[in-house]
Structure 1
């Protein structure tokens, strides 16, 4: 089983859900497409880690609701005791930053501005999640405590990313202003002067 499979089990251990709903729940923490999720759900159901039933809907197509089985809980518990691997970093921004010497400053600024906007959206999303966790449930011993620390992790990461973007943009724009000033201070040749 891959990490996404365990993530799906983790969300279904909390609450039975449709494939679509579990996809929405996992998105803030693990990027996955429905083309990845649905085959995993089917495979885990075949392996008796999940069960499912259909809910009829009058104005929408019927939806399949997945629930975790005792075998699924057992598999999830076993996974919790496996050693944690080092995180995998695959961010296109890092590679584009490495190549920024090949582009102009306006494009570099646009790239960083785009990522800054992403971090602002993430931060807003995590802050909304945080508001849904009751203050009295944020202590150790409550199931919501783990939601709380995970949402805080998301806030810290988004804030760090936002700070980095702001730092890079400040340098790029400061240099842009210096270049603009230096260019405007160039002496303008007189009519009689050869260029």
Structure 2
């Protein structure tokens, strides 16, 4: 997936300014697709240059004019073309997993601290996702039906975070056992 298709996806639902798009990334897509502020604005310029976006400037009384983008017919055609393509499998580059893989060289206490730090991050993410889920569940049935596919991406995030936390329990148990073993070996010496 590319940033351009994520932006087209966001603009398919409603026109938005660059600021609004960045905000959407942080509040929704950001859980599974990250983009920096500068990247979004650069891509908006490219998409406009390619004719995939329309841009209207809105005057603001005490600020510079605001550019509001919407998807053009050719942008919608590109989004439909992209949606028909097979998606590449997700790749994973996770430094924490590399550290655990080489964990025999590390002190269990150091790895436990690192795991606790990551656990807190994943728990915070799960809490945020569950808050969003609650908002979805409070929608009227017609709006829930309209938002069903985005909701299913949310469910994927929730299930992924729950699975990560369950896995972290397994890692913590192993690290605790290793710490006990090292303490017993040190005591025997």
Q: Normalised by the shorter chain, which TM-score bucket?
A: 0.7 to 0.9
Out of 148, 161, 164, the residue aligned to residue 161 of structure 1 is 164
Cα separation, partners in 2 of 1:58 and 1:111, compared to 1, 3 Å = farther
Bigger-Rg structure (1/2): 1
TM-score w.r.t. length of structure 1: 0.81
Whichever structure has more helix as a proportion of its residues is 2
In structure 2, the residue corresponding to 1:52 is in which secondary structure? Answer: strand
Q: Relative contact order: is structure 1 or structure 2 higher (C-alpha 8 Å, sep ≥ 6)?
A: 2
Query: What is the root-mean-square deviation in Å for CA atoms of aligned residues?
Result: 2.4
Equivalent residues in 2 for 1:145-160 (5 A)? 145-160=148-163
In structure 2, the residue corresponding to 1:125 is in which secondary structure? Answer: helix
Q: Which runs of 5+ in 1 are unaligned?
A: 188-195
Q: CA deviation at 1:84?
A: 1.9
1:94, 1:63 → 2: CA distance?
Answer: 44
Equivalent residues in 2 for 1:27-46 (5 A)? 27-46=30-49
1:59, 1:95 → 2: CA distance?
Answer: 51
Residue by residue over 1:9-49, the C-alpha shift from the partner in whole angstroms, topping out at 9 and shown as x without a partner, is 10111122222322232312202212322111110011111
Moved over 4 A (4+): 56-62, 183-187
Q: Which runs of 5+ in 2 are unaligned?
A: none
Aligned to 1:132: 135
Is contact 1:138–1:148 with CA below 8 Å preserved after alignment?
no
TM-score w.r.t. length of structure 2: 0.84
Aligned residues between the structures: 183
Is contact 2:16–2:70 with CA below 8 Å preserved after alignment?
yes
